[in-house]
Amino acid sequence: MASGPAPSTAIKASAKAQSRAPRAALRSGPTSRMKNAMLEAVSLVLEKLLFMSNFKFFSSGAPGEDKAGNTLYEINSFLRGDVLEVPRTHLTHYGIYLGDNRVAHMMPDILLALTEDRGLTQKVVSNKRLILGVICRVASIRVDTVEDFAYGAEILVNHLDRSLKKKALLNEEVAQRAEKLLGITPYSLLWNNCEHFVTYCSFVRM
């Protein structure tokens, strides 16, 4: 049997709680809204600081420009569903390998907020488009070639498994999750970025 207060005591406690509830709601309403506004403001400030600290990374050259043409990747060594990581000075870019030289990854892109012309938005994201996309918090989970995804940098494969010390889902399930998420998505340096995307695809069990 479950233990607990005597019925009369429980009823009194419930009545007292109900009598206090309206007053508590009146007190907590504006306070709760104020706290939410403060959290949003703090989050925005942190995102701006993080963006500024990594501005050199965002300004160091767009994907698909000069660097990409100088690097050859062992594409045959990648398996569908592998997590690909491109380490940079201050952060790492992540994607999911889909096979056939295709990588699904989240990329900020201001052009997504300006046009629905897929002929324009499917072109490799330029440096300016990326920076403005970060500022305006708009991105897409898109598919690019391995070369355009890595833009000349070294690629690590499934390194996130060891970093998180977790066992990833089966590769095919990872790839299918990534494919289902393709399209426009909100972007946040703190709360919704490329690492969150691959972490969900690879590790979150439903």
Angle at the Cα of 68 from the Cα atoms of 64 and 73, rounded to 5 degrees: 125
| pLDDT of residue 48 exceeding 80 | no
Helix (H, G, I), strand (E, B) or coil at 149: helix
Alpha-carbon distance values, 7 to 2, 55, 60 (Å): 13, 63, 69
Residue type, 136: C
Mean pLDDT is highest, among 23-27, 55-59, 76-80, 164-168, for 76-80
Q: Is residue 78's pLDDT more than 50?
A: yes
Compare 84 and 30 and report the one with higher pLDDT.
84
Band (112; pLDDT cuts 50, 70, 90): very high
Backbone angles phi, psi at 135, to 5 degrees: -65, -40
C-alpha triplet 26, 31, 34: angle, nearest 5°: 140
Q: In this structure, what is the dihedral angle of CA atoms 8, 14, 17, 22, given to the nearest 10 degrees?
A: -130
Backbone angles phi, psi at 192, to 5 degrees: -150, 85
User: What mean pLDDT is reported for the chain?
Assistant: 78
Contact 120, 110 (CB under 8 A): no
Active site residue ranges? 93, 105, 194
Note the pLDDT tens digit of each residue in 116-126. 999 999 999 99
| pLDDT tops 90 at residue 8 | no
Residue 52 above 60 pLDDT?
Answer: no
Across residues 103-108, what is the average pLDDT? 98
